[in-house]
Chain A
């Protein structure tokens, strides 16, 4: 069965600090997809990144970077030089082929960035 664990419930940092949000997943499939979504205080979920199980390349997009490691079943998300606007709840999600690509979300990590 698929499972996503975001062990960090809340993280608080001061602006300009770097912060890493952890995501550990469980799946028996060889074909699966991982995602990160952001939910700002306004409430709407916003897609950030998608990775398939065959592509372990790390990705950088501006201040955001993602580290995908199949060996540890982790897909961690780092924000460099955090800003107050980064304050939000961040969700990691998994879709696996066996489940018909049903999406399972982690519990989310609430990030507070203080000025």
Chain B
């Protein structure tokens, strides 16, 4: 079975550009999570969805960040405009149900570098 799929795996962009990260959760999973990992701040939950509805976006750092889940098999995380401090590894994860009450399965991550 396919795991969580993320694209692109690596993204290098210039400050001010729009960046879109994509995620396909495991089929049948109802919850989807976006995380950001940096050396300074560790692993931070940005937002999570239950049945395609955003439940908690308190971790989204600024209005420059937005996330959507138009259907059960696809989600995007957009940064517009990007800044060098957004450089990080962004992970998408999914779980069978119940938000964070159940184990999450992580994608390989997208390494974002903003110059």
Residues on A facing B (Cβ under 8 Å): 33, 35, 37, 43-47, 50, 91, 95, 97, 99-108
Contact = CB atoms under 8 A, between A and B. Distances in A.
B45 A102 contact: yes
Nearest to A46: B106
A100 B55 contact: yes
Interface residues of B, number: 24
Interface of B: 33, 42-45, 48, 55-56, 58, 89, 91, 93, 98-109
17 contacts: A33-B102, A43-B89, A43-B109, A44-B106, A44-B107, A101-B98, A101-B99, A101-B100, A101-B101, A102-B45, A102-B56, A102-B58, A103-B100, A105-B42, A105-B45, A106-B42, A108-B42
B43 A35 contact: no
A44 B93 CA distance: 10
Given A102-B45, A102-B56, A103-B33, A50 B103 contact: yes
A47 B104 contact: yes
A10 to B, nearest CB: 13
